[in-house]
Structure 1
Amino acid sequence: MSTLSRPKHIGRNISRIRELRDMKQEALAQALGTSQQTVSAIENSETIDDTRLAEVAKALGVTVEAIKNYCDDMVLNIINNTFTNTSHDSSTINSINVQPNFNPLDKIVELYGEKEKLYERLIQAEKDKVEYLEKIAKGK
């Protein structure tokens, strides 16, 4: 029996999407306001009424069409086409071209200036503290 002529098992598609979303049956049940056993029954059902399917799709954060048209082969194909193993493939590293839109030396100078300002404020605060303590000491 070919894949095209075989009817889609909607419950199995829901289960796969839920697993891909790293969601447990209990979490889906809570989102639907039902029990975990109800979610299990839904996932074991070959067909689901449209109202319930819309609720499940909303809880999973996907469209009804995504559940109806879900296919493991397509997901694996997308993963294979977008994943690169950087330990064996240097093309990913070579494709990353980092060019900052600022001069790093200017940033260093700017940070140094900020450091000087903070240091001057610290010295001024210490001078103010000493002056205040001297006033208190003279007042006694």
Structure 2
Amino acid sequence: MSTLTKPNHIGRKISRIRELRDMKQEALAQALGTNQQAISALENSETISDEKLIDVAKALGVSVEALKNFSDEAAINYFNNFYDNSIGGGNGTFNNQCTFNPLDKLIESYDENKKLYERLLESEKEKNAYLEKFLKDK
């Protein structure tokens, strides 16, 4: 049986969103304060009350509209477009180009380490001078 025959099967939509969120039925059951068998029955239901749908949407971290309008094709298109835009240099959200020279950062960290070492060395010299003075006084 194809999922296209029942496009408004809300239980299947809940199941797919739960799977995409990498959530087990037990975890959803715990979030809703019920058991795994109730979630299984919920995911096999064609219709669900609006109150229950609000609770499920909140537990899954999506809006009720997202639950009602979910389709695998739309999700695939969303991720494909996101991937194409972010990698292809389009108007994507993420641009993974380095904005600094890694060698400059390495040299900065080297210089900072050198300064810290010099401060530590100076501190040790002061400590030794203090201890020598203390021992001479005794």
What TM-score do you get using the length of structure 1 for normalisation?
0.74
**Alignment match, 1:127:** 125
2:35 — aligned with what?
35
**Partner residue of 1:8?**
8
Find the aligned partners of 1:119 and 1:2 in 2 and give their Cα distance: 67
Q: Matched residues in 1 for 2:107 and 2:37: separation?
A: 64
Counterpart residue type for residue 118 of structure 2: E
How far residue 126 of structure 1 moved from its aligned partner, in angstroms, is 1.5
User: 1:138 maps to which residue?
Assistant: 136
1:84-133 per-position Cα deviation (integer Å, ceiling 9, x unaligned): 6xxxxxxx4x746836368x65x566555534432331221111121122
Q: CA deviation at 1:59?
A: 0.4
Superposition RMSD in Å: 3.1
CA drift at 1:30: 0.6
Instruction: Provide TM-score, normalisation by structure 2.
Output: 0.75
Amino acid at match of 2:28: L
Residues 59 and 114 of structure 1: CA distance in aligned 2, closer, same or farther (over 3 Å): same
| Aligned equivalents of 1:63, 1:109: Cα separation in 2 | 49
Q: Give the 3 Å change call, closer, same or farther, for CA 52–101 of structure 1 in structure 2.
A: same
Amino acid at match of 2:74: M
Is 1:64 matched up with 2:64? yes
How far the C-alpha of 1:78 sits from its partner, in A, is: 2.4
Sequence identity percentage: 58
Moved over 4 A (4+): 107-113
How many residues were matched structurally?
130
Unmatched 5+ stretches in structure 1: 85-91
Unaligned runs of 5+ in 2: 90-94
